[in-house]
Amino acid sequence: MPISKNILIPQGLGPLTFGSYKPLPYSFWQAVTGLSLVGGVLLVRGVVGRSVVLMQRFATSGMKHEDVIQIFFVTAVGAYALPILWGGFWDRYLLPLVPFLLYLNACGVPREGVGAAVRKSAAAVLISFTAAFAVLGTRDFLTWHRVGWEALAELQQTAGVGAPDIDGGFEYNGWFFDGPLDRENAEQVFVNKNAKYRIAIVEKPGFKVVKTYKYFSWLPPKVCTLYVLERDT
């Protein structure tokens, strides 16, 4: 982990559009990968187990009202997942499957006894860690985007620099791109190589630092710097 590196990236949550910076510790991603493998195995086991039970009940005409709902959820998961797995996917494409899979697995959890308590406690801990990572990662993502747009606005309004002379990342370049977009010039939307100024999270060779902006990141907790760079003449 991460695999597709679209939303979940080595630095946390992305994608990054102002360059790159130091990723989260390797030990963190080892732990995430381990938990993901265990969770994936348990998830598949739970869904397959429920599917077998449902087929047995269908064959013996022992269907209940809740079984019909579960069949719908299993069908929805298959109909959505198969085209993605066949044609390739970004990690964000898997998010709609989460509520369906959680429901199917919850149906197979015992409601009473020691096993139920252990599973509920483990689920609560994992959900808490996942929620914390999602909230903190999203907060960092929005923060450095906010700081970046503040830097871009000041560069345009105060210094009077035009948009064609600024490499402000995918969103900025795409918003201010002038002219038809085709295969030949699509790369300029991602990186404006001819720009005199550039917004970046790290210093770059051939550029000098014009101004810096500080912001606090939670993953990991530290003060980060956003750079306004000017190309050396």
pLDDT bucket at 2, cuts 50 / 70 / 90? low
Q: Are residues 225 and 157 in the same domain?
A: yes
pLDDT at 19: 55
Cβ of 24: how many Cβ atoms within 10 Å?
17
pTM of the model: 0.65
Q: Which of 88, 108, 128 is the last residue of a domain?
A: 108
The answer to whether residue 124 sits within a structural domain is: no
Q: Are residues 100 and 186 in the same domain?
A: no
The answer to whether residue 117 sits within a structural domain is: no
Q: Are residues 15 and 84 in the same domain?
A: yes
In the chain, the number of structural domains is: 2
pLDDT at 4: 62
State percent of the chain over pLDDT 90. Answer: 3
Q: Are residues 23 and 72 in the same domain?
A: yes
Average pLDDT, the chain: 77
Question: pLDDT digits over 7-17, tens only?
Answer: 676 666 666 65
Higher-pLDDT residue of 221, 32 = 221
Q: Find the domain containing 33 and state its range.
A: 8-108
Using DSSP bridges, classify how beta strands 166-167 and 197-200 pair: parallel, antiparallel or unpaired.
Answer: parallel
Question: pLDDT digits over 19-68, tens only?
Answer: 555 676 778 778 878 877 877 787 777 777 777 877 877 777 777 777 77
Question: pLDDT digits over 68-94, tens only?
Answer: 777 887 888 888 888 877 777 777 777
- Report how far residue 214's alpha carbon sits from residue 224's, in angstroms, rounded to the nearest whole number: 6
The answer to whether residue 114 sits within a structural domain is: no
